[in-house]
């Protein structure tokens, strides 16, 4: 785009966005000036609902377990953790989770890298088990 000779040129550089203030992104403001949540936030809400459902299922299992069962306490704690995770996702959204992860990585890089490696290993084992199960089903069928 070219400027006409009559258009004054600004000699000031563009001002950077203040940190802590949201940056406008395409599609965040609809007609009439109403703001819409970014697509990632809708996914965070959906993930929170899924985690909450799993936590509710675990809580139901814990309620039905015998009172002297050691598994009852473990399942109950897992359900409580699931409810806390769902609340966290609903309140902070994906942006808050990413911000917290960045802060954790800066403060404790060794713990962050160790956690990432452990999560990657666990995810790889789950994927490998799923592939083995799929291959086993194909052999039977």
Q: What are the DSSP calls for 30-69, one per residue?
A: -GGG-B---HHHHHHHHHHHHHHHHHHHHHHHHHHS-TT-
Long-range residue pairs from 111-118, CB within 8 A, at least 24 positions apart, any chain: none
pTM for this entry = 0.53
Whole-angstrom Cα distance, residue 116 to residue 108? 12
Q: What is the pLDDT of residues 105-127, one digit of tens each?
A: 999 999 999 999 999 999 899 88
86-103 residue pLDDT tens? 999 999 988 888 999 999
Residue 38: count of CB within 10 angstroms of its CB: 17
């Amino acid at each position: 785009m070219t400027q006409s000779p009559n258009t004054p040129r600004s000699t000031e550089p563009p001002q950077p966005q203040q940190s802590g203030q949201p940056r406008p992104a395409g599609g965040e403001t609809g007609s009439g000036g109403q703001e819409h949540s970014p697509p990632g936030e809708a996914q965070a809400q959906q993930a929170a609902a899924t985690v909450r459902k799993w936590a509710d299922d675990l809580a139901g299992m814990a309620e039905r377990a015998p009172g002297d069962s050691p598994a009852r306490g473990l399942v109950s704690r897992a359900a409580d953790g699931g409810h806390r995770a769902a609340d966290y996702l609903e309140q902070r959204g994906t942006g808050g989770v990413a911000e917290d992860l960045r802060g954790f990585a800066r403060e404790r890089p060794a713990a962050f890298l160790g956690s990432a490696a452990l999560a990657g290993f666990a995810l790889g084992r789950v994927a490998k088990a799923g592939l083995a199960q799929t291959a086993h089903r194909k052999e039977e069928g």
